[in-house]
Structure 1
Amino acid sequence: MKKLQTIQEVLTFINETHLAFLYVSQEDCSVCHALKPKLIELLKKYPKIDLREVEADKVKEISAEYLIFSAPTLLFFVDGKEYLREGKFVQFKKLANSIEKIYSFEESQM
């Protein structure tokens, strides 16, 4: 998973990517490290979703820009608009169902 290093990279990724999934983590977060491989595996089913990671402790502006108060935070954008937000304790079945609904709808529109 590619890491975004600046707030400008984050903004560009979200605004220029049709299906953008942003994984906001922190370096010293054990939940973040445990969740990451599960998320990567889940998103393999959705090849048109682009996934990027940003470390909130390195790109501090991310917290103010997207109102992120804890890590991990998962944000899914469609054409620059936030459609899904999950934080801290992610329920993977719920997350998978939500992604499936959004992805299926977007696929039917193409």
Structure 2
Amino acid sequence: MIDLAFDENGLLPAITQDDETGEVLMLAYVTEEAVAKTEETGFAHYYSRSRDELWKKGATSGHVQHVSDIRVDCDGDTLLYLVQQDGGGACHTGYRSCFYRTLSGEVVGEKAFDPEEVY
């Protein structure tokens, strides 16, 4: 495996992209354990900084991410997860992508599911 440049907290950003459409779905952080779990299971695992724990994407919502490939940037300090997104979307707010609004606040994405019904 390539040497990865985890930060002082043992974290590395991971961009998640739909492997068919190229749409950027989310950005999260991973630890060595999260990367290993992702490789082992084929499902995206991340590290929740707010909960301070490893988590499998979709464990609660059912909107899992099947990882088809993991790419490493030139500096070894960012990963790209290429995924097939199951369920309505990747964002916990109910949108397909976490990048559903502009800097001015205009909503440019569509709701994919009702988070009240999922969480």
TM-score by length of 2: 0.27
TM-score by length of 1: 0.29
**Larger fraction in strand:** 2
Larger Rg: 2
Higher relative contact order (CA 8 A, sep 6+): 1
